[in-house]
Each structure stands twice: as structure tokens, then as C-alpha cells.
Amino acid sequence: MTQYNETDLVIVGAGMVGLTLAALLAGKGLHIRILESRDIDPQNALAWEQSQRETGYDPRVSALTVASQQVLTVAGVWSGIEQMRLMPYRAMEVWDGEGSGQIRFDCAELHEPCLGHIVENRVTQAGLLHRVLSQENCELSVGVQLTELSEPDADAVRTLTLSSGEVIQARCVVAADGALSNTRRLAGIGMWEWDYGHHAIVTTVTTEQPNQATCWQRFTGDGPLAFLPLPDPHLSSIVWSTSPDHAKVLMELDDTEFCLALERAFEGRLGAVKHTAQRFVFPLRQRHAKQYVKAGFAAIGDAAHTIHPLAGQGVNLGLMDAAALAETIIDGLEDGVAWNSEYHLRRFQRARQSENLQMAATMEGFKRLFNTHGAVPILLRNAGMSLMNRLSPVKNHIVQEAMGLSGNLPRLARRPVRD
Ligand SMILES: Cc1cc2nc3c(=O)[nH]c(=O)nc-3n(C[C@H](O)[C@H](O)[C@H](O)COP(=O)(O)OP(=O)(O)OC[C@H]3O[C@@H](n4cnc5c(N)ncnc54)[C@H](O)[C@@H]3O)c2cc1C
């Protein structure tokens, strides 16, 4: 394969967000280099069916919104994902574990076929890899890291030195290398960050009763517990956010004890929890980059911000970043302006920073609301939830938000107008 030492765009990180940006820009006349530190064999990553047979469901799943589905459709990836495996969810039920407040959203009330899809992260990743690797102008290098990033020259071009010793000159570098982004650090961009005081346990569980194609979430003072439906009706993927000490205790339980603790915490809504797959735990931190762009540089996805998974919005925000950045670059190319200048890239920052900060503030608000103890706050919270459940306009607004259809959406995320 030709070794390019000059390129238009370098995307650091072949996660869901970085690959989505590459897929959206493929065919726009840019040469794109994608650098991934994991030594993955792309052909193996594509052999999804085989890995599925061997290891069952991926413990990491995402609730992809309708807006994210639209972005992945435009990127030419959604039909591939559909052919692999996904689960449309038709309802969401949220309730207060310390009272009677509850709210239910149903796609039928909105005349929609579903509210979103639960997709295993490795399925999304495989669909994206398949698309990106079939594009002539996209080149993926694995097992490499960025070790140095120069300041921009007068044309905003940056020089990158890789762990392999290769030196690349790029018109723009995109940090899509996740929450601990080294690329963002090399670009000299700091973060606001704080601990949520929660760890999240994720695993796949088998329940006595079917999941009813519903996303279930119980809020408690310790943190939210979510059951996300998988295509097998008796399987759900869980995200159990709780204090680090409680998470440690839960991780140390044997499978039978864990299933019992989970069933109690979930108030047995799906009957007995009969089986759990291997459990994984993630510390949860809120992070936000102080700026998303510089000359010849942009940060997207978790490299720019991380939020609490309680509303399942993390990767959805990242996909909106990818769409907004692709749009900014495409507009610049069409208008014949310096698309990699800080001035031009600020369009992307303006479009996304306020949306992402708003979502981060909402998640923080939710977390604090349900962390409040005492009879009066709990009573008010429950009354508020029950009232919301009866007020159609408020309910509709919340569900539009959950489907990713409200706010300032990138063009590439807007659904075509239906007849
Ligand atoms: C428990 C939990 C549950 C969640 N549930 C949901 C959900 O339901 N819905 C939702 O929308 N979001 C959810 N999220 C958030 C979501 O998982 C993340 O927002 C998403 O994975 C971020 O994608 P990304 O591509 O930005 O980063 P990553 O997935 O972190 O990908 C980064 C890529 O960069 C690579 N990389 C790292 N460092 C380097 C380097 N130095 N050089 C080159 N490559 C590098 C990594 O190997 C990786 O491939 C959840 C998060 C957690 C913790």
C-alpha cells in the first residue's frame, strides 16, 4: 500500500466516533489517515458473526437515538448494522425507587415505530470498519500512537510524529481517542473534570420474564439501574451505577448472590434474574474540554466530553460532533475557504459546545435530584414525576430529547421530512 507522508486529515482513534467522521467524509476528495493504538486485526474485527458465536453479546451496548441512526444512515453504515444485530426499543419506563413516581414513554403515543435502538458497540464498530475500509481515500494504521504534535504553521498544517517513527504532515488532526485523549493533551487543551462518585457495572443478564422491548430505569439514592432490552426477549444488558464501595461489594459477589441483589434492586420487575454473564466495572467521571478547536485541530466524542451514562447519551453526542465537524469541513471545501483554520473550525465548536454542556448539566441535575434524601424532597420529586407523566407537552418534549430530535441538530442528523 502507498505510504502517504502528507495527508489532509488525520483522525486519532478508530472508535465509533472517529470512524463515523471518516465514513461521513469518505468520497469528499480528502485523503484520510486513521491511527488506532490497539493492535486490532481489522479483518478479525469484521468477522463479527464468528465472534458473536464464540462470545455471545458484547457487554458494552449503546442506546442509539433516532438522530444517531440518521447519521449512520448518511454514513452508509446503518443497513450493515441492521443486517448484523440490533434491538429496537418501543418504550421507556423510569421510576423512583424511593416513592411512587413513575413516567412511561411509548412509541405508539408518538406514532413512531420505535424510540431508538440498542446496539452492541462491537456491531456498530464492525459496520463502520466495513464501510471505512472499503473507501479508497481512507487508510487505517493500527498499533500506532501519536508521540509529538507540532504547533500549526501559517496554513494551519501540523506535523505529527508516530511511535513507528513515521512523520506525517496533516492539514487537520482530529482527536477521537476517547476520554483520556493524549492527542487533546498534545494540542495543549485542558479539561474541566470531576468525579461523579459512581462506578458503573455492566453485564448481560437473563430474566424470568421477557424484556418487552422496553428500556427500564430505576433511580435510587445510590444511583440509577438500567435494563436495556436485547433481541433475545429474556436477555437484557444492564448498567448499574452506584457508589464505588457498593460496586466493589457487588463485583465480589458470586453469580447467584449477584443475581439476587440485582433482582431486589430492580424490584423484580422482570421476575427472577436467572443468570449473569461476566461483569465489568467503569468509574464514571464528567469531563469537558475547555475548547474543541485550534488551528488545524478539533476534538470530538469522549476526547472532548464524557457524561454520566444514566440517559445513554454519550456516544450519541459524539456522533452529533462527528456530523457537525463533517458538515463544517464539507461546507469549507464547497466554499473554497481554509477549512482547517481555527476561524472556520469554530463553526463546529459553536454548534456543539453549548449542546454538549447543556446535556452535561442536565445529567448532573438528574444525579443530584435523585441523590437528595429526606421525606419532603422525595415527596416533591415523586409528585413531579407523576405530574410529568400526565402532561403531554412536557412528556413529548422529554421524549424528543431522548430520541435526540430536539436542540440544534446537525443537518446530517435531521430526518428527511415525511409525506
Ligand atoms: C458503562 C457505560 C455505559 C454507556 N452507555 C451508553 C449508552 O447507552 N449510550 C450512549 O450513547 N453512550 C453510552 N456510553 C458512553 C459511550 O460508551 C462513549 O461515549 C463512547 O464509547 C465514546 O466513543 P469514542 O469513539 O469517542 O471513544 P472510545 O470508544 O473511547 O474510542 C476511542 C478509540 O481511540 C483509541 N485510542 C485511545 N488512545 C489512543 C491513542 N493514543 N492513539 C490512537 N488511538 C487511541 C482507542 O483504542 C479507541 O479505539 C456509556 C459509557 C459507559 C462507561
Q: Is the pLDDT of residue 371 over 80?
A: no
Higher pLDDT pick, 405 / 244? 244
Residue pointed to by grid coordinates 441535575: 365
Q: How far is the CA of 412 from the centre of ligand 1 (A)?
A: 21
Print burial letters for 126-146: b (CB count within 10 Å at least 16), e (below 16).
Answer: bbbbbbbbeeebbbbbeebeb
Q: Quick one: average pLDDT of 215-241?
A: 93
Residues 56 and 50: their CA atoms lie apart, in Å, by: 10
Q: Quick one: average pLDDT of 38-61?
A: 74
| pLDDT per residue as tens digits for the range 14-37 | 999 999 999 999 989 999 999 999
pTM: 0.92
Higher pLDDT pick, 224 / 389? 224
Sign of the alpha-carbon dihedral angle for 303, 146, 47, 322: positive
| pLDDT per residue as tens digits for the range 251-267 | 999 999 999 999 999 99
How far does CA 35 lie from the centroid of its chain? 20
Residues 403 and 65: their CA atoms lie apart, in Å, by: 5
Find out whether the beta carbon of 116 lies less than 6 Å from any atom of ligand 1.
no
Which residue's alpha carbon is at the smallest distance from atom 49 of ligand 1?
A: 15
Q: Which atom of ligand 1 is nearest to the CA of 282?
A: 53
Q: Is the pLDDT of residue 40 over 60?
A: yes
Q: Which atom of ligand 1 is nearest to the CA of 118?
A: 8
Q: Is the pLDDT of residue 376 over 80?
A: no
Which residue's alpha carbon is at the smallest distance from atom 48 of ligand 1?
A: 15
Q: Which domains does the chain have, with CATH numbers?
A: 6-89+115-193+285-378 (3.50.50.60)
CB contact at 8 A, 408 and 351:
yes
CB contact at 8 A, 225 and 241:
yes
Sign of the alpha-carbon dihedral angle for 178, 201, 229, 383: negative
Q: How far is the CA of 382 from the centre of ligand 1 (A)?
A: 34
Find out whether the beta carbon of 224 lies less than 6 Å from any atom of ligand 1.
no
Question: What integer pLDDT is reported at residue 163 of this predicted model?
Answer: 93
Find out whether the beta carbon of 59 lies less than 6 Å from any atom of ligand 1.
no
Question: What integer pLDDT is reported at residue 52 of this predicted model?
Answer: 63
Find out whether the beta carbon of 14 lies less than 6 Å from any atom of ligand 1.
yes
Higher pLDDT pick, 169 / 381? 169
| pLDDT per residue as tens digits for the range 92-108 | 998 887 766 778 889 98
Find out whether the beta carbon of 69 lies less than 6 Å from any atom of ligand 1.
no
Work out the burial of residue 233: count CB atoms within 10 Å of its CB; fewer than 13 is exposed, 13-18 middle, 19 or more buried: middle
Q: Which atom of ligand 1 is nearest to the CA of 226?
A: 8
Find out whether the beta carbon of 38 lies less than 6 Å from any atom of ligand 1.
yes
Q: How far is the CA of 15 from the centre of ligand 1 (A)?
A: 6
Q: Is the pLDDT of residue 53 over 60?
A: no
Q: pLDDT class for 2, splitting at 50, 70, 90?
A: very low
* Average pLDDT for the chain: 89
Question: What integer pLDDT is reported at residue 1 of this predicted model?
Answer: 46
In one-letter notation, the amino acid at residue 202 is: V
| pLDDT per residue as tens digits for the range 283-296 | 998 899 999 999 99
Report how far apart, in Å, the C-alpha atoms of 149 and of each of 17, 163, 260, 403 are.
21, 12, 51, 38
Among residues of the chain, what percentage have pLDDT more than 70?
87
Q: How far is the CA of 18 from the centre of ligand 1 (A)?
A: 10
Largest CA-CA distance found in the chain, in angstroms, rounded: 68
Give the helix ranges, DSSP H, for 75-212: 78-84, 107-110, 121-133, 182-186
Strands (E), 76-190: 87-89, 91-96, 102-106, 116-120, 138-142, 146-149, 158-162, 167-175
Q: Is the pLDDT of residue 118 over 50?
A: yes
Among residues of the chain, what percentage have pLDDT more than 90?
69
Antiparallel, parallel or unpaired: β 61-64 and 6-12: unpaired
CB contact at 8 A, 78 and 72:
yes
Question: What integer pLDDT is reported at residue 220 of this predicted model?
Answer: 80
